[in-house]
Amino acid sequence: MLTKSQKKYLFAIYLLGQDGGSVKSTSVSDFLNVSKASTVKMTQKLIEEQYIIKEPYREIRLTQKAYVRRTSCSHRA
């Protein structure tokens, strides 16, 4: 189960990545108005839970699992 904070980060990555697909960590930090350290910590959690892919010194991409999760959440409204 995703926490509210995890959902917030995933949504930010989704919104920021709509044009090009991948997103810089600093863009997520700026968008959410959080520290870069907080973003790094959360991206590690999301990587462990397989919601995002991020290789060292690379941009963040959502996984298929994240898209499925996003779709199922939007249908619950």
Query: Residue 34: how many CB atoms within 10 A of its CB?
Result: 17
Domain 4-71: assigned CATH number: 1.10.10.10
Spatial distance between the Cα atoms of 12 and 14, rounded to a whole number of angstroms: 5
DSSP structural state of residue 34: -
pLDDT score recorded for residue 60: 96
pLDDT score recorded for residue 3: 93
What are the boundaries of each domain within the chain?
A: 4-71
Spatial distance between the Cα atoms of 32 and 4, rounded to a whole number of angstroms: 13
One pLDDT digit (tens) per residue for the chain, 77 residues = 889 999 999 999 999 998 778 999 999 999 999 999 999 999 999 999 999 999 888 999 999 888 776 555 554 44
Spatial distance between the Cα atoms of 19 and 34, rounded to a whole number of angstroms: 22
In which residue are the tokens 């930010």 written? Answer: 12
